[in-house]
Structure 1
Amino acid sequence: MRYFTLIVIALFIAVKSIYAQVPATGSDFKLSPDTATVFFVNIEQRWPGSSIQKMNDTLLTGFQFFDPIIGKTSLNAVNGNIGLAYKSLVFDPSPEIGFRFAPSVVNYYLLRNDNIRYYQSFAPYSNVAYSFGAGKEQLFSVTHSQNIARGLSLGVDMRIINSIGNYLRQKSDNSSVAFQGQFITDNQRYAALFNYRSNRYKWRENGGIKYDSLFTENLEPERNRISINLESAENLIKESGVFIQQYYYFGRNPRKAEVIVDEAETTLIFENKEEVVGEADTTFISVNKEVVGEADTTLISKKKVNIPVSKAELPGRLFYNPERSDFLRHTFTYTRNAILYTDGNPRSGFYPEIFIDSVKTFDSIFHHEFSNEFVFEGGIGRAIGSGKAVLLRAGIEHTLGIYKNGFNKDKNDSIFRKFNRITTFAYLSANAFGVAKAEGKVWVTNGAPFNGDKGISAMLTLPAFDNSTSWGNLTASLGVNALQPDYIFQYHYSNHFSWENSFGQQTILSGKVMYARKFLKAGFNFYTLDGYVYFDQNAKPVRENAAFSVSQLYGLAEIKLGHFDIHAFATWQNVTNTEVLRVPDLAGRVSAYYSVALFKRALYLQTGLSLMYNTAFYGDAYMPALRSYYVQNEVKTGSYPYIDGFINFRVKRARMFLVMKHLNSGFSGYNYMMVPSYPMADRGLRFGVSWNFFD
């Protein structure tokens, strides 16, 4: 408490100084000279779409959202403590690539092949971040990336979440680490991306509080004295793997370098990127030619020479280009999943049945998967907005999976199953002179446990290039997927749940329209679901034979008015069959910011409020033994605003935040549950810091 008091006093003095300073206006509010820019690439596993993205490692807006499940458009119901299971409040039936075991309750925490970052930094880059708060909540992360040799870059990402929580047996202990690298030959004909990742999550499961009235009527203010349903249950989730992706480019490298020779420095401009090489400082900067280094300068060109990039003598400055086409690609993936659920008291009355052992529950699931994928991609012509006027990608993937279901540690009882799957897929796009771009996708899977899975979709974009800064872009898409249910719905055998089902395929027809312009995005989604499979009120899988539909209307806006910023996301959803699928009618988050630069831009300060809200509905309940959510008709959740107050500030390369989380706690009742029997945390203070290093 003493440290919190010191922090509050220091920040109060900083806020008071606002009134003693003349606020910076207009263009004065810009990045400090003591910054640099780092880019990264995420790998799309099957379809084109990867691009180079800029890291917002100096941006204050949104920095206070320290929880991984909180984002611009992500709205989730969580089990009362950071790092535990969660469920999205926004319906999204998009199928995942690979083995679909169960609807994910951990994806935002995982380091996965599709969210691991391959960094592009010309100087060694590191970031260290740490935050702590009430309930002994701690988050820690480390990032490092650098060039080892010409064309070889290596990096590491590590994330740790450890939080005791306010209620008994609510602890989360999550750790993730990923090592990644990229290698490109001097002639840029060969490129390779590779990573090793390991995720380990250990959750104490309390099954929720036993008597909701102790919380909702505030009969017991000491939260750790409220009785819980499970006193010795735990979930251990492990996911790890290896990823190697190799490219052989057979076409001409379209990327040329424009070398600008100046008396002090040399610059290479690659289409929409620049590489600045100085004697003492090296910085990767954006297209406005503003050099951010030891001094705030602007590049003045003296002489220009066009030469191929491959001949530029820049040791250690070759990176994977995701926008390059005309290649053959091989991808090897190994994934290992291990899940263990234990409970020292199966006869607590929480579970509906006991099948194997009434003394101790020991349910384990192991799944190993080896995958090899071969892809051809080639195109012809060039057009505005894409590298090729016509682009074709076709591929085939073979997957070997081994599934082991263990249910008695002492007797070493288990069930083994082997799966073989072959998936073929193709993608075709055509760009009509930059006016419009049409894209089509098709894929088919043969082999257990997802035999016959297939999908086809088409999308039209007007215009074909990024026109968001002008009158905007309009996209429309139509698709249909026929999918076997996730494997947990097909087969599961454990101490408390057992079934083997042949539900057949569920069909999902989707139609989407979206408009995006500058800082505004709005869209409408429509889904028709036939044969939908879900967990009923007994947490058992059932199939809904009648078709039903889901409609969604959403909007995202980022508005700037002088020193004020307003970021808002909201969605309206309508489900024609609420007996099987429950989502709130309205849900959204709005954040308001006031930003000011102080002390000749040595300190950047931002204060504001953030509000999250969703209308009342029968939110799904949680079953720890399945790590899954199921429908219930007893408790309505929602109709409660969660308000946070925050201060973000930056000094040179360090960013800090101070958040009063849920500051309205107790002011309007005690009905703040997002998951039945799992109250959200009371009001609490959080502090965090993030520090960048470029050497």
Structure 2
Amino acid sequence: MFFISEMIRLNFIIFFLLFFSSSLSQRNTIKGQGFGVSAPSKSNNAVKDTTSFNVIKPDIDLYKIYTLEKDTTFVDTTLSIQSEYKYNLLRKDIFGLLPFSNEGHTYATLDFGLSIKSVLPNFGFKAKHFNYQEVSDIRYYSVPTPLTELYFKTVMEQGQALDAFLTVNTKPNLNFSIAYKGLRSLGKYVNNLTSSGNFRFTTSYFTVDKRYNLNAHFAGQDISNQENGGIVNLEEFEGSTEPFNERERIAVYFTDAVSLLKGNRFFVDHSFKLSKLKTNSLVFKHQFNQEYKFFQFSQPTINERFGSSFTNSINNKTRYNHLYNKLGIAYSTQNYGDLEFFIDDNNYNYYYNSVVYDSNGAIAVPSSISDKINMLGANYSYLINQFNVKLHVSQSLTNQSISSVEANAGYKLNDDYEFFFKYQKLNSLPNLNYTLYQSGYVNYNWFTNFNTEKLNQFDFSAKTKWLNLSTSYKILNDYLFFDNTTNDISELLVQPVQYDKTINYFSIKVDKEIKFWKFALDNTLLYQKVNQSADIVNVPQIVTRNTLYFTDYVFKKAMLLQTGITFQYFTKYYANDYNPLIGEFYVQNETKIGGFPMLDFFVNAKIRQTRIFLKAEHFNSSITGYNFYTAPNYPYRDFMIRFGLVWNFFQ
């Protein structure tokens, strides 16, 4: 009955959207070339807007989005299958990630290739950072007219997700942008509330002669999750009979635990060219990054699942101060590429407000670790015709034995064929929460001295008119991970462990979209294989996503309609489990998950610059059985209907 009522509700919403769009069908609109091309239209000439006062609108390719590496894209208001894939909280295609039951909680990583390692030690608590925007996630803008984008999406219960963005060029060479992404979702289970906010402010500037360039941003972010520890009795969920079909009736491990990740960052990247010439000139560069973070886990009532405790309530708070400066000098030539030498200074302080003593009264776990790391390195880039090469090397000058080597080569034969190769060798320090952690729980206190992690990685990708292919091969040595020392899911005594043998990981991913008339079938398939003497890196062997959809204009081309079904599946494997106390996933080899299909039905529409999204998520959940999990005792999402929109304003 629930499924039938939800489908009736879905049909009613579809009817409402179609009725709404038909009321707009008599209005004049700009007709683009192909599906989803919208005003402002990308063309060689400006487009005349016949709807009001014959205002000439700028070309879409003047609305630029770029990274610190100067990779430039344009504002995209089209309705494509990629629009469907990117319509989520992270605003990107999350193939290879599996979300938890509530929006904004965390994600299980199905594709091990998505795990990126830095040569410098990071804060850690990686499970809480999926929705935390790092320096590399920030984008900068250049627009001819003010641009606004609004993202809205419903959530699981009592809340919404909203991302509001505005950018403007006050002068052709001065841009400002401001954005805020907010989320509140109660969730379906007890003690499952999510509340987060991501504020971003950016500015970009260059002098008229383009000798001086500046990109800077401020980011203030907080991500709060109520942590219930998962389901106590899995039979209550897998049976889903009354009253357990109402998810708040299912018993969970924790009813009052909360985690909070909060951080503020100020970042500046600027450069000055010594000569007015476009090439054969020295360029001085400077990068500055100052960031403060903390991760806090509070639990007013202690729980025996984490073992014995020092106190009757838990309030763990890990703090982190980071100050980074990078100075570089580059020489740019027209015929021989660009060469840069740099030196950086990395200072951090990772600390608590207490120490832990052993039975003899000596300090077993200190209050902090602080360090200063200086690295010397060089970058080289060369672009000629369709061939592009980039090289990077760096080595520590201080007593830490860390280094980085990276080589990239790309070749674009034409619009149909493009090839890319990458090699990376890292000797990196452990994340700081592997080295030091303090807690009110006795077994969650450690101070370690691990070896550096070693990584050799080879990547190759090819984009052709037949299919897209990417392969990756990783060789891991001294790999660090978290492990449950009890081998019992009901008791979590998780500790950091270093694996002293070699792990070999291989993956191949192919994707291809097949089009026929107004139908299309988009396919993505990932195959993974791990060679290791112990089960440390556990991955599903096969991950697949297949979408069959239909696209056409309706209501005298006033609305573009897109509707279809997405099938997702991954093979069974020993998935890493989630530990909310330390904000990390840990290795377990007792319980397998996977082997269940996930079917989504969607109806999307585009009216002018507004894209409307409506989806029946996991509508097969009650049909194929309640054995779907994201982590061993954390269920995946039940069937639900969600909708929202992305609205662009070009002023």
User: What TM-score comes out, normalization by structure 2 length?
Assistant: 0.86
Gaps of 5+ in 1: 18-24, 256-323, 383-388
1:331 aligns with 2:287: yes
Q: Distance in 2 between matches of 1:528 and 1:376?
A: 33
Q: Distance in 2 between matches of 1:133 and 1:478?
A: 41
The structural deviation recorded for 1:674 is: 1.4
1:85 aligns with 2:106: yes
Match of 1:469 among 415, 419, 429: 415
The structural deviation recorded for 1:26 is: 11
SS in 2 for 1:82: coil
Letter in 2 for 1:671: N
1:457 aligns with 2:457: no
Gaps of 5+ in 2: 1-5, 24-30, 42-58, 356-364, 486-493
CA contact (8 A) 1:177 1:199 kept: yes
* 2:385 alignment counterpart: 434
SS in 1 for 2:82: coil
Q: Distance in 1 between matches of 2:173 and 2:209?
A: 10
CA contact (8 A) 1:69 1:76 kept: no
SS in 2 for 1:540: strand
- The structure-2 alpha-carbon separation of the partners of 1:97 and 1:603, relative to structure 1 and needing over 3 Å to count, comes to farther
- The structure-2 alpha-carbon separation of the partners of 1:436 and 1:140, relative to structure 1 and needing over 3 Å to count, comes to closer
Q: Distance in 2 between matches of 1:28 and 1:439?
A: 36
Q: Distance in 2 between matches of 1:199 and 1:171?
A: 17
Q: Distance in 1 between matches of 2:519 and 2:153?
A: 26
Q: Which moved more, 1:474-483 or 1:667-676?
A: 474-483
Letter in 1 for 2:632: P
- The structure-2 alpha-carbon separation of the partners of 1:459 and 1:131, relative to structure 1 and needing over 3 Å to count, comes to closer
1:381 aligns with 2:334: yes
* 2:423 alignment counterpart: 478
Letter in 2 for 1:172: T
Q: Distance in 1 between matches of 2:91 and 2:597?
A: 15
CA contact (8 A) 2:600 2:619 kept: yes
Match of 1:51 among 65, 71, 79: 71
* 2:497 alignment counterpart: 542
* 1:526 alignment counterpart: 473
* 2:432 alignment counterpart: 487
* 1:139 alignment counterpart: 161
Q: Distance in 1 between matches of 2:329 and 2:628?
A: 52
Letter in 2 for 1:479: Q
The structural deviation recorded for 1:671 is: 0.9
CA contact (8 A) 2:121 2:429 kept: no
Q: Distance in 2 between matches of 1:378 and 1:223?
A: 62
SS in 1 for 2:236: helix
Q: Distance in 2 between matches of 1:123 and 1:12?
A: 31
1:367 aligns with 2:312: no
* 2:448 alignment counterpart: 501
* 1:676 alignment counterpart: 632
* 1:299 alignment counterpart: none
SS in 1 for 2:81: coil
Match of 1:174 among 196, 206, 210: 196
CA contact (8 A) 1:419 1:447 kept: no
* 1:116 alignment counterpart: 138
* 2:567 alignment counterpart: 611
* 1:394 alignment counterpart: 341
CA contact (8 A) 2:128 2:583 kept: no
The structural deviation recorded for 1:110 is: 2.0
Q: Deviations over 1:632-660 (max 9, x none)?
A: 12221111111111011011121111110
Q: Deviations over 1:459-502 (max 9, x none)?
A: 333x3xx33513x1223333321122222112212122011111
1:212 aligns with 2:250: no
CA contact (8 A) 2:89 2:161 kept: no
Q: 5 Å matches for 1:548-567?
A: 548-567=503-522
CA contact (8 A) 1:407 1:494 kept: no
- The structure-2 alpha-carbon separation of the partners of 1:70 and 1:694, relative to structure 1 and needing over 3 Å to count, comes to closer
- The structure-2 alpha-carbon separation of the partners of 1:78 and 1:159, relative to structure 1 and needing over 3 Å to count, comes to same
Q: Which moved more, 1:150-159 or 1:56-65?
A: 56-65
CA contact (8 A) 2:458 2:473 kept: yes
Q: Deviations over 1:247-299 (max 9, x none)?
A: 102345549xxxxxxxxxxxxxxxxxxxxxxxxxxxxxxxxxxxxxxxxxxxx
SS in 2 for 1:9: helix
Match of 1:444 among 379, 391, 395: 395
Q: Distance in 2 between matches of 1:493 and 1:572?
A: 39
The structural deviation recorded for 1:590 is: 2.2
* 1:287 alignment counterpart: none
Q: Distance in 1 between matches of 2:120 and 2:218?
A: 17
1:416 aligns with 2:436: no
SS in 2 for 1:105: helix
1:10 aligns with 2:30: no
CA contact (8 A) 1:72 1:569 kept: no
* 1:194 alignment counterpart: 216
- The structure-2 alpha-carbon separation of the partners of 1:103 and 1:624, relative to structure 1 and needing over 3 Å to count, comes to closer
* 2:88 alignment counterpart: 67
Letter in 2 for 1:68: L
SS in 2 for 1:336: strand
Q: Deviations over 1:563-597 (max 9, x none)?
A: 22333222111111251111111112222221111
CA contact (8 A) 1:550 1:576 kept: yes
User: What TM-score comes out, normalization by structure 1 length?
Assistant: 0.80
* 2:260 alignment counterpart: 236
Q: Distance in 1 between matches of 2:418 and 2:432?
A: 38
The structural deviation recorded for 1:227 is: 0.4
Letter in 1 for 2:377: F
* 2:3 alignment counterpart: none
- Indicate the percent of aligned positions where both proteins have the same amino acid: 20
* 2:529 alignment counterpart: 574
Letter in 1 for 2:529: N
Match of 2:300 among 320, 344, 347: 344
SS in 2 for 1:666: helix
The structural deviation recorded for 1:622 is: 0.7
- The structure-2 alpha-carbon separation of the partners of 1:251 and 1:584, relative to structure 1 and needing over 3 Å to count, comes to farther
Letter in 2 for 1:43: T
- The structure-2 alpha-carbon separation of the partners of 1:190 and 1:365, relative to structure 1 and needing over 3 Å to count, comes to same
- The structure-2 alpha-carbon separation of the partners of 1:3 and 1:511, relative to structure 1 and needing over 3 Å to count, comes to closer
RMSD: 2.9
SS in 2 for 1:170: coil
Q: Which moved more, 1:133-142 or 1:160-169?
A: 133-142
* 1:293 alignment counterpart: none
Match of 1:638 among 562, 577, 594: 594
SS in 1 for 2:352: strand
The structural deviation recorded for 1:33 is: 4.1
Q: Which moved more, 1:85-94 or 1:574-583?
A: 85-94
Q: Deviations over 1:195-237 (max 9, x none)?
A: 1111101100000011111112224211100000011100011
CA contact (8 A) 2:36 2:560 kept: no
Q: Distance in 2 between matches of 1:146 and 1:13?
A: 35
* 1:319 alignment counterpart: none
The structural deviation recorded for 1:99 is: 4.0
- The structure-2 alpha-carbon separation of the partners of 1:557 and 1:328, relative to structure 1 and needing over 3 Å to count, comes to farther
Q: Distance in 1 between matches of 2:430 and 2:366?
A: 23
The structural deviation recorded for 1:5 is: 7.0
SS in 2 for 1:479: strand
